[in-house]
DNA sequence: ATTACAAACGCAACTTAGTTGTGTTAAAAA
DNA sequence: TTTTTAACACAACTAAGTTGCGTTTGTAAT
């Protein structure tokens, strides 16, 4: 289920935040709202589009809180800049992030997509390696470009 | 074939650099030599261990040259810091990097390994996505830890 | 409604990765 | 030996991300 099917208005967003133990400040409501219309965001892009604050620290601390509560997750960019994207509803929580989808980065428009339809295949490592997490990123051209 | 089987002494290293159109300066010989004894290196780690220069720019430009010539390749770190590792002999060149192995990052000792034995599986993307490159990174604990 | 507490905010100051330009040095080709 | 060009060093810069601290504000208890 996609999260934005649940979010009809600002009030729903505030409730969603409260359910995750996050206070509904004007900025954090606006930030979560912004994630509904963007497949992924960098701190920079957020600063450009958000009205409620221009403070980098405030943005980073909100992102940190959202991630810890299982609302968003990190996606490494093509240039090693961190991007952030929504988690599926019910997928992640304060206890653990459980998604195992791949990420697609468009070389043309620089968008980053969470491709839920494509799961990360099982990887068999050589003797002695203990696997704890896997990241799989595909680069190329997205359908819109 | 592993590159360090070929490199018996400093002179072999110099020849190898020249074959790739890179001048044999004391620093670049020392740098290439350093890669033989390290599974991967960051700019920072290089600066700590190299005697011939402490200049960040010199290091970055050497890494850039090595990568362009197909001698080393980039590996994104767990914290989005770039690491660098040797390419297999005959695998890559000035024309193209052709490796498709996975990378393993040890959470304990922070080492990054190129695991040549494990190839990146084929990924089938949804309609409309054009694949150009794939990165697969596994995090966990390495055999030595 | 008032109060009390913790979460969130804003500001300043900092660290570190990575880049760009320019003049100088030195390796290799002519 | 001379010429060419890659490589180097230095300074100055951009941008990501972090830390500490005093202030403000949301929320829940009284
Ligand atoms: Mn994702
Ligand atoms: Mn590798
Ligand atoms: Zn695109
Ligand atoms: Zn290890």
Nearest to A132 among B107, B127, B129 (CB): B107
Per DSSP, the three-state class of B57 is helix
Name the band, by pLDDT with cuts 50, 70 and 90, for residue A4.
low
Q: What is the largest CA-CA distance in chain B?
A: 52
Place of tokens 């929504």: A86
Strands A130-141 and A101-106, by their bridges, are: parallel
Whole-angstrom distance, CA of residue B102 vs CA of residue B75: 10
Residue A92 domain flag: yes
Residue A54 domain flag: yes
Radius of gyration (Cα) for chain B, nearest Å?
16
Kindly report the CATH number assigned to the domain that includes residue A76: 1.10.10.10
Ligand closest to CA A106: 3
**Whole-number pLDDT of residue B62:** 98
Residues in chain B: 145
Name the band, by pLDDT with cuts 50, 70 and 90, for residue A78.
confident
Crossing angle, helix B26-36 and helix B56-68, to 10 degrees? 70
Q: Ligand 4: distance of its center to the CA of A111 in Å?
A: 34
**Whole-number pLDDT of residue A25:** 97
Q: Pick from A97, A120, A138 the residue to mutate for testing the B interface (most B CBs within 10 Å).
A: A138
Structure confidence by residue, pLDDT tens digits, B41-70: 999 999 999 999 999 999 999 999 999 999
Number of Cα atoms under 13 Å in the Cβ half of residue B122: 1
Cα of first residue to Cα of last residue in chain A, in angstroms, is 26
Protein residue with the closest CA to the C1' atom of nucleotide C7: A23
Q: Ligand 2: distance of its center to the CA of B84 in Å?
A: 8
Taking the CA of residue B34 and the C1' sugar atom of nucleotide D1, their distance in angstroms comes to 36
Protein residue with the closest CA to the C1' atom of nucleotide D18: A57
Residue A145 domain flag: no
Residue B145 domain flag: no
Taking CA–CA distances from A121, the nearest residue in chain B reads B121
Taking the CA of residue A60 and the C1' sugar atom of nucleotide D18, their distance in angstroms comes to 10
Cα of first residue to Cα of last residue in chain B, in angstroms, is 26
Predicted structure pTM score: 0.90
Tokens representing residue B99 in the block = 């490796």
| Mean local confidence (pLDDT), B17-32 | 96
Residues 49-108 of A with CB under 8 A from B: 76, 80-82, 102, 104, 107
Residue A120 domain flag: yes
Residue A63 predicted with pLDDT over 60? yes
Whole-angstrom distance, CA of residue B141 vs CA of residue B110: 9
Structure confidence by residue, pLDDT tens digits, B27-44: 999 999 999 999 999 999
- The torsion defined by the Cα of B104, B46, B1 and A125, in degrees rounded to 10, comes to -10
Whole-angstrom distance, CA of residue A103 vs CA of residue B76: 15
Q: Which nucleotide is nearest to B82 (CA to C1')?
A: C17
Name the band, by pLDDT with cuts 50, 70 and 90, for residue B90.
confident
Residue A65 domain flag: yes
Nearest to B136 among A132, A136, A139 (CB): A136
Phi, then psi, of A144 in degrees rounded to 5: -80, -15
Residue B38 domain flag: yes
Taking CA–CA distances from B112, the nearest residue in chain A reads A129
Strand ranges (DSSP E) for B47-122? 72-76, 82-86, 101-106, 112-119
Structure confidence by residue, pLDDT tens digits, A121-136: 999 999 999 999 899 9
Tell me A20's DSSP state. Answer: T
Taking CA–CA distances from A82, the nearest residue in chain B reads B80
Q: How many domains does chain B have?
A: 1
Place of tokens 């954090």: A28
The domain in which residue B94 lies consists of: 3-140
Containing B118, the helix (H) or strand (E) segment is strand B112-119
Q: Residue B98, CB, less than 7 Å from strand D?
A: no
Whole-angstrom distance, CA of residue B115 vs CA of residue A93: 32
Average pLDDT score, chain B: 91
Per DSSP, the three-state class of A58 is helix
Instruction: Choose the weakest-confidence range: A7-21, A117-131, B130-144.
Output: A7-21
């Amino acid at each position: 289920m996609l999260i934005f099917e649940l979010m009809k208005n600002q009030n729903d967003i505030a409730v969603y935040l409260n359910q995750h133990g996050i206070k509904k400040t004007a900025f954090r409501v606006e930030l979560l709202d912004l994630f509904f219309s963007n497949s992924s965001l960098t701190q920079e892009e957020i600063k450009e589009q958000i009205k409620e604050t221009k403070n980098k620290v405030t943005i980073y601390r909100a992102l940190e809180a959202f991630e810890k509560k299982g609302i968003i997750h990190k996606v490494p960019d093509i240039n090693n800049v961190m991007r952030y994207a929504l988690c599926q509803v019910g997928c992640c929580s304060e206890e653990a992030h459980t998604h195992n989808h791949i990420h697609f980065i468009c070389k043309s428009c620089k968008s980053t997509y969470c491709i839920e339809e494509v799961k990360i295949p099982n990887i068999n490592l050589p003797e002695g390696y203990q696997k704890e997490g896997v990241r799989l990123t595909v680069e190329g051209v997205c359908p819109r470009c």
